[in-house]
Amino acid sequence: MAEGDPKFVSVLKQTFDTELQNNKNLTIVLCGSVSFWICDHILNSKDFLGRINQDLHLGEMTLNEAKLFFPKQTSELEMLLFLLHTGGVPRYLKEYKKSMSSAAQIADMSFDEGGLFFNEF
C-alpha cells in the first residue's frame, strides 16, 4: 500500500492520532515482503516513537508445516517443486491446484500474463 505513495506514513500517523488511537478493540498490524521499508519508515521513525508495542519476527516454515497446505495425495516431489518456486509463502501455497502438476502451475504463475508472478521481479 505504501509503495509509491510518499504520504502514506504521514496519513497513517494522522489517521491514528485523530481517529483510531482511542479504539481499544483495534490492532494495527504492519507486514510485508519489504521489511526494510517497515523498519525505516515505521519502527525507526520518531513519529511512531512509543506507539509500537510488539515486534514479531516469524521464523521459517518447516517442511512439515508447509505440507499441511497440500492435499494428502500430493507426492513429495510435487510439494518440493512448488515449495522451491514459491518459497513456502502461505499466500502462494494457497494457489496450489491439485488438478495440475507443479511444473504446469509454475509455468502458469510465472509466464502467463495473468499469472501471480508474471510481474514480480
| DSSP per position, the chain | --TT-TTHHHHHHHHIIIIITT-TT-------S-HHHHIIIIIT-GGGTTT--------PPPHHHHHTTS-TT--HHHHHHHHHHHTT-HHHHTT--TTS-HHHHHHHHHHSTTSTTTT--
Mean per-residue pLDDT over the chain, rounded: 84
Whether the Cβ atoms of residue 100 and residue 107 lie closer than 8 Å to each other: no
Q: What pLDDT was estimated at residue 113?
A: 93
Would you say residue 117 has pLDDT above 80?
yes
Would you say residue 112 has pLDDT above 90?
yes
Per-residue model confidence as pLDDT tens digits over 25-48: 988 887 776 777 888 888 888 877
CA distance linking residue 74 with residue 107, whole number of Å: 18
CA distance linking residue 51 with residue 36, whole number of Å: 18
Whether the Cβ atoms of residue 92 and residue 80 lie closer than 8 Å to each other: no
Per-residue model confidence as pLDDT tens digits over 7-20: 888 888 899 889 88
